[in-house]
Amino acid sequence: MLKSKTFVKKTRSGGVMKIVREHYLRDDIWCGSEACTECKHESTVLQKDACIESNLCSYPHYLVPDTNVVLHQIDILEDPVIRNVIILQTVLQEVRHRSAPIYKRLKDIIHEKEKHVYTFTNEHHKETFIEREPGESANDRNDRAIRVAAKWYSQHLKASEAEADGLKVVLLTNDQGNKQKAEESGLLVYKCEEYIKSLIANPELVDRLALSNDEKNEITSSKVLFPEHLPLSRIQAGIKSGTFLQGTLRASRDNYLEATVFVQREQDDGTEVLIQGLQNLNRAVHQDVVAVQLLPRNQWVAPSSVVLQDEGPAKDDGVEDEDEENVLKTSAAESARKLTGKVVGIIKRNWRPFCGMLNVSHIKESTRHLFTPADRRIPRIRIETRQASSLVGQRIMVAIDGWPKDSRYPNGHFVRSLGGAGEKDTEQEVLLLEHDVPHQAFSQAVLSFLPKMPWSITPEDMVKREDLRSLTVCSVDPPGCTDIDDALHCRELENGNLEVGVHIADVSHFIRSGNALDKEAANRGTTVYLCGKRIDMVPELLSSNLCSLRSNVDRLAFSCIWEMNHKAEILKTRFTKSVINSKASLTYAEAQMRIDDTNNNDDITVSLRGLNKLAKILKRQRIAKGALTLSSLEVRFHMDSETHDPIDLQTKELMETNSMVEEFMLLANISVAQKIHDEFPECALLRKHPAPPPSNYDILLKAAKSKDVEIHTDSAKALADSLDVAKVDGFPYFNTLLRILATRCMMQAVYFCSGMDSDFHHYGLASPIYTHFTSPIRRYADIIVHRLLAVAIGADSTYADLTDKHKQSALCNNLNYRHKMSQYAQRASVAFHTQLFFKSRGVLNEEGFVLFVRKNAIIVLIPKFGLEGTVFFDSKDKAAPNIAFDEEGPTLKVEHHTFHIFDKVKVTISLDDSNIQHQKIRMALTEPVIAGVSVAIPDAEPQAKKPKLDR
C-alpha cells in the first residue's frame, strides 16, 4: 500500500518546486515474539516466558517505553534485568534527532542478543501508521502513534493465543497526559519510576533512576540561589544583536568559583571571558555551551591565583559561599583585569556520566549524599541512594539530571560501580572513561567484517600489486611490539644508485569505507598506549596478525620506493600496493648491534647499514633547513612479572636506529603528502604544526638569559641554531633542559583538510607539507591517506565522503580530539604508575632542576625518573616564610635564598595518599638548606627483595 504526501517549496532562485514524498505501508512486518503463531518469523527476538518479578505485573510482559523514558532513563534500559523490550520506530527516530550519544547507546542495547530488544517498524505497518491530524503537534502525533502501536501489540498477541500464557504489553511513560490517554484506551500503562520501584529482586535499580521534573523540585529548598536561565529565543535574539556572546565554558581545575568562556569570533582568533563567583557561573558546568553577558568595565576582575577546592561537608542550599567569594576579590591592577561576564543561559549541556567517589552524609539513615567527581572542574553532585554503605571506598559513575535554581548542587543519579579506589584495574577504567577513550569490546557487527580465517593472499589480491617478497625487508620497533606498521629495505642498483623502500601495512585493504568496522575505527581515531595495556583502534586479528608486518609471513603492504644517490638525494619516487615477506622483526637494540658488529655482513645487516648511512645524511639536511630537535623525558616502567606492579622506573634511551627509522618515516610522509595534494588539492588530509606566537617563548628566553645564553626565535631555523650552541660550562644537562622548555612553548600539531586551510607548513619539521601515512594500524588518519593515495595511483576506487572537504574536515576535528585525549590518558597512566612505584619506596632523596618559578612554589624536574613535581613554600600546617616573587626574572626569594630557573636542588619524593581520589607525589626541599623551609634528608631506603622483572 502506498501513501503519498505532496507539498510545494520555494527555491533559492524564486521558483516553485513540487515535492512528492511516498510512504510505503506493509502488512507483513513481524511482531518479533516467539509466542506469536500469526507472523511468519525467520527468527524471533522477544521471549515467550518474558518474566520480570514485579509487584505491579505478576504476569509475563513486554515493555514499550516512550521517547522520554528512553532519553532520560537509558541507564535503566541498559541494565541486564530489563529484557524483552519493544523499541518502536517512532521512538528510535525521535531519539536519533534529539541525542546522538543516547541513540548510539540504544543501538548497542538493540544489538545485545541477551537483552531480547526488538525494533518494530510501526511507521510502515498498515495497522499502526497514523497521519498527523489538523492542529496536532508533532509531539502529540508521536505520542498517539506509540499508543496505537502498543494497542495493536496487545490485540495481536491476544489473537495469536499468546494471551493463554498471560503475556501482556506494558507501556512505560513519564508524561501524565500520555498516561491518562493510554488508560482511557484500555492500555496497561505505568510511570517508569513506579514500574522500577515494583521490581522485587532488584531494589538497587531504583538508584539508577534519573530524577523526573517533579522530584527535582522536591529535593531543593525554597530559597532561590541562582538567576533564572533565559529562554533560547531570548538568547538567540541577544546573540544576534550582540548583547550576549556564545561560547564554551572551561572551568578551572584549581578554583571551583572561576571559569573562562571561549568565544569564537569571525574577526579574530577568539576571545576569553572570565566568569567569577557562583552567581555569575549560574549552574553552568565545564564544556557547556553558554550565553554570556559582559559586566560593566568597573566590575571586571583579574584571574585569581588562589586555589579553592569545593571540599568538606555539604553546604546548605540557603547559604552562599560569601567567605570564599570574598577571597577572590583582591584589588588587581587595571592592566591585570580581564574581560569579565556572567552566564545568562545554557545553549547546550555537555553532560556525560562522571567518575568519582561518594561522600556519605553524616545524617543517620539519610539516602541523600554528595558525590565528588574525579575531574576537579565538575561540581559535586547530590544523589539519592540506599546503598551508600557499600559504595564507600568505591569509584562510581554518576549522571547529572538537572540543576534547579534553588539548589546549591546539581541533582543526579547513581549509574554503576567501577570497583575499589586505588585498585589498578579500577583506576585504569576511570582514566579511560574520564578521557573519553572508547574501550569497550568490539561489537559483533564490527567483528563480522573481519576476514574469515584461515586467511591467505588470493589471485584477486595480486591484480594491482607488485610482488616484492624477494626483497630483504625488515622491521625495527620497540621491544614487545606486535602491531608492526612499517618495514624497510635498502639495496644497491646496477647503475650504482640505491633503492630504498618504506613498506606500510595495507590496512585499507581490510577496512572498507562505510562498514561498521570502518565507522568504529574512525570513531576511536587512534590506538591508545597505557602502561602495560593497549586499547586497539582495530580488532586484534588485524592489529597483531593479518596487518602486522611480522617476519617470515606474506603480508599486504603499501610501498613508497625511492631511487637515491649516495648523497641521499631523491632521483625517483614511486608508490605501489605490494606483497612483502619481512626477513626479520628486530628491536632498536638488535638492529643497532647488527650495524655495530663489523663481522656481520648478511643481507639484512648490509641493508640496515645502508639505511643508517642515508638516514644520517637526511637528518643533517633536515636540520640544516631548520627542523627542531626538541626533548621530552619519556619514562619506561619495568613490571613485576607476577603482580604487574612497577618495580623500576627509567627514562627511555634513544639509539641511532630510532633516528634511522624516524628519518624514513618522515620522508615517506612528506612524499605521500605531496602526491595526494597534487591529485586532490581540495580534500587531501594533511598535518600541520603552527608556529608558536612570540609570547609563548617568553619563559624560554628568560630561562636562557638567566644563564647569559642568547636564544633567537624569529624562525624555526634561528631557534634550532641557537639551541645547538647553547652551552654552560660545568652544566652538561643545561642544553637538554633548554630543549625540554622549548618543547613546552610549541603549539599542538593538527590534522586538517587541504581545501579548508591555506597554511600547510609544519614548523617543527621545517617542511612545507606533511601528512601521516606510516601507521595505519594505530591511526585512522593514515587509513584515509592510504585511500587517497590508492585512488591517486589507480589501485582503488574512490567514494563520495573521501572527496567531500566538509566531511573530511569534520573527521579531522574528531581525530584531533581523540589524539589529544589519548595523549592525556597516556600521561595519566604514567602518573598513576609513578604513584604505584613510589608507594612502596617510602621517602626518596633525589637531585633535580628548577623548571619553572611560581609565586609561592618551584616546579622541579627529576631527570632520573622523568618526573615533575611542585615544592610549595606556603603549606597550611606551618608558618609561611618570607617570600618575594619577581616576574621579570622570574625569580623567587625564600628567606635569604633566591631560586632561578635551572637551579640545581635536592628534594625528597614521597606519595601523599591522604585523599584516595587525588593522590599526589609530594616534594620537599632538602638542599639548599633554608631554615624553617627545608626538611631533613631521609634515612637510606632499605633494600627490598629483588622481584622478577617482566621486561
Q: Give residue 63's identity as a one-letter amino acid code.
A: L
Closest CA to 751 of 684, 799, 680, 665: 684
Q: What is the dihedral of CA 205, 206, 210, 212, to 10 degrees?
A: 150
Angle 435-436-440 (CA atoms, 0-180°, nearest 5)?
A: 125
pLDDT digits (tens, 9 = 90+) for 254-277: 788 889 998 876 555 668 899 988
> How many helices (DSSP H) and strands (DSSP E) are in the chain?
25, 39
The pLDDT value given to residue 783: 97
Partner residues linked to 899 by β-bridges = 892
Contact at 8 Å (CB) between 150 and 134? no
Asked if pLDDT for residue 432 goes beyond 90, the answer is: yes
Length of the chain: 951
Asked if pLDDT for residue 312 goes beyond 50, the answer is: yes
Q: In the structure grid, which three cell numbers stand for residue 878, read together? A: 606551618
| Cα(299)–Cα(341) distance, integer angstroms | 9
Task: Sheet with 584-587: list strands edge to edge.
Answer: 465-467, 570-581, 554-564, 498-505, 486-492, 474-477, 584-587
Confidence band, pLDDT 50/70/90 cuts, at residue 876: low
Domain at 232-348: CATH code:
2.40.50.690
Which carries the bigger pLDDT value, residue 50 or residue 507? 507
| Cα(935)–Cα(924) distance, integer angstroms | 7
Q: What is the mean pLDDT of residues 327-352?
A: 77
CATH class given for the domain over 352-434: mainly beta
Contact at 8 Å (CB) between 892 and 883? yes
| Cα(92)–Cα(832) distance, integer angstroms | 41
| Cα(825)–Cα(823) distance, integer angstroms | 5
Other residues' Cβ atoms within 10 Å of the Cβ of residue 493:
10
Q: Give residue 304's identity as a one-letter amino acid code.
A: S
Percentage of the chain beyond pLDDT 70 is: 88
Contact at 8 Å (CB) between 889 and 836? no
pLDDT digits (tens, 9 = 90+) for 81-110: 898 999 999 999 999 988 888 898 899 899
| Cα(324)–Cα(306) distance, integer angstroms | 10
Mean pLDDT of the chain: 85
Contact at 8 Å (CB) between 906 and 847? yes
| Cα(351)–Cα(822) distance, integer angstroms | 20
Bond from prior residue into 938 cis (ω within 30 degrees of 0) = no
pLDDT digits (tens, 9 = 90+) for 671-716: 999 999 999 999 999 999 998 888 888 888 888 888 888 888 888 8
Other residues' Cβ atoms within 10 Å of the Cβ of residue 102:
16
Which carries the bigger pLDDT value, residue 224 or residue 632? 224
Fold of the 842-949 domain: OB fold (Dihydrolipoamide Acetyltransferase, E2P) (2.40.50)
Model pTM? 0.81
Q: What is the mean pLDDT of residues 717-746?
A: 85
Confidence band, pLDDT 50/70/90 cuts, at residue 635: low
The pLDDT value given to residue 945: 39
Q: Minimum mean pLDDT among 216-225, 443-452, 570-579, 759-768: which range? A: 216-225
Phi-psi sector, 583: left (phi>0), alpha (psi -120 to 50), beta: alpha
Partner residues linked to 528 by β-bridges = 535
Contact at 8 Å (CB) between 720 and 623? yes
Contact at 8 Å (CB) between 931 and 625? no
Q: Minimum mean pLDDT among 293-307, 647-661, 889-903, 932-946: which range? A: 932-946
Complete DSSP assignment for 556-623:
EEEEEEEEE-TT--EEEEEEEEEEEEBSEEEEHHHHHHHHH-TT--SHHHHHHHHHHHHHHHHHHHHH
| Cα(59)–Cα(53) distance, integer angstroms | 9
Angle 898-899-900 (CA atoms, 0-180°, nearest 5)?
A: 120
| Cα(429)–Cα(435) distance, integer angstroms | 10
Q: What is the mean pLDDT of residues 112-137?
A: 89
CATH class given for the domain over 2-209: alpha beta
Domains in the chain: boundaries: 2-209, 232-348, 352-434, 661-828, 842-949
| Cα(925)–Cα(935) distance, integer angstroms | 6
| Phi–psi pair at 495, nearest 5 degrees | -80, 5
The pLDDT value given to residue 289: 93
pLDDT digits (tens, 9 = 90+) for 457-505: 999 989 889 999 999 999 999 888 888 999 999 999 999 999 999 999 9
Helices (H), 192-257: 192-197, 213-219, 232-241
At 74, is the secondary structure helix, strand, or coil?
A: helix
Residue 171's Cα: distance from chain center in Å?
Answer: 37
For 527, 548, 612, 650, 778, the CA distances from 479, given in Å and listed in that order, are 17, 15, 20, 15, 17
Confidence band, pLDDT 50/70/90 cuts, at residue 219: very low
Beta strands 474-477 and 584-587: pairing type?
Answer: parallel
What's the sign of the alpha-carbon dihedral 823, 829, 830, 835? positive
The pLDDT value given to residue 637: 62
Angle 859-860-861 (CA atoms, 0-180°, nearest 5)?
A: 130
Contact at 8 Å (CB) between 92 and 225? no
Q: Give residue 601's identity as a one-letter amino acid code.
A: N
Q: What is the dihedral of CA 360, 364, 365, 371, to 10 degrees?
A: -10
The pLDDT value given to residue 159: 77
Contact at 8 Å (CB) between 731 and 634? no
Q: Give residue 553's identity as a one-letter amino acid code.
A: V
pLDDT digits (tens, 9 = 90+) for 912-924: 877 777 788 888 8
Indicate if 232-348 has the same CATH topology as 2-209.
Answer: no
DSSP state of 125: B
Contact at 8 Å (CB) between 649 and 635? yes
The pLDDT value given to residue 16: 78
Burial of 728 (0-12, 13-18, 19+ CB in 10 A): middle
Q: Minimum mean pLDDT among 196-210, 585-599, 751-765: which range? A: 196-210
